[in-house]
Chain A
Amino acid sequence: MTEYRPRYAGTVTKYVFIESPDLTPSDLAIRAYEISEGVMIKETCFGLQITGKEDEVNKVIEELRKSDPSHIFVKDRGFPPGDRRRCRANLGGARPGFFGHECEIGLVRFVTHGLEALPDRPAEAVGHPPCPAPEKRLDLYKLKKIIEKEES
């Protein structure tokens, strides 16, 4: 048993994804460096990872969002950047969580469209989103009949 000493204790890490025709991750990184005050910024192929005190990280993200509000998406990350348990440099292959991001990043363009169309909708208009179809389950009496048929 070895002692576990967490790195970057007391900080939060957030992913900033950019899916924009006008802005690249490097543009966003330059903007982030300009406004960052002590937070750690890591540029990635999809956007940024920002690590630091929660207030400071939120402040940077708030400013970054202004660059392209409907094309920037943010989520929390559990591990700090470069953590050996998650970093691709140590593990090889795709980073755990990559496939989830790959799946959703293909759909964010529809969400972007929704965000851009939102101001034109009446405030009280209820959305009718795609809903899960009700599952068709086997009727109990039908199942009983099948069992009886098999037994006879």
Chain B
Amino acid sequence: MAKVFIYPATSLILSDLVARFGHTPLSAAIAIREHVQTAGLESPPLQITPEDPKKGLKYAAVEVPSGVRGRMSLYGPMIDSADAAIIIHDADLAFGCMGCARTNELIQFLLKKRKIPILELNYPRTDSEGEEFVAAIKHFLDGLEKSA
């Protein structure tokens, strides 16, 4: 069972398909759950404490806005532990402020830098594209099993 980082990290479709084909999806919810379930001092809304941007320094330089570093403190450790990744490029739902946009670019850069197997695709817009989409993801995930 491989750990597969999914991008967009909140994707329902990717999260479901990765789990359905027997692997562990690394999604935003996992990191957020860890934060909101850890006792400490109240730091609403996501329990991102001043310590988190410091953790993010491992992934983004000090002059990078703290919002990017805070986000990277959630995504960075998951990228480090990922065995593979699936990236969807035309995801409108990944749209956000500049912090989100820069974090999205950094996530993709760090994933490619790690040289792990990556599947890059677009969302299906027709039935036949849906067929190819699911088949490609299954083939990719089955390949991970063999290489593991």
Contacts and interface: CB of A to CB of B under 8 A. Distances in A.
A45 to B, nearest CB: 15
A92 interface: no
Secondary structure of the A side of the interface?
mixed
Given A73-B12, A103-B92, A132-B90, A127 B138 contact: yes
Interface residues on A, range: 35 or more
B113 interface: no
Contacts of A125: 135, 139
Interface of B: 8, 10-13, 15-17, 19, 25, 27-33, 35-47, 89-93, 120-127, 129-139
Interface string A10-23: 11110101000000
A85 B45 contact: yes
Contacts of A109: 130
A129 B15 contact: no
Interface of A: 1-6, 8-13, 15, 17, 73-79, 83, 85, 97, 99-101, 103-105, 107-115, 117-118, 121, 125-132
Given A15-B12, A74-B19, A129-B122, A115 B134 contact: yes
23 contacts: A1-B41, A5-B39, A11-B37, A12-B33, A73-B12, A73-B16, A76-B30, A78-B33, A85-B36, A100-B8, A100-B12, A104-B12, A107-B13, A111-B133, A118-B134, A121-B135, A126-B139, A127-B131, A127-B135, A127-B137, A128-B132, A129-B137, A131-B122
Nearest to B43: A4
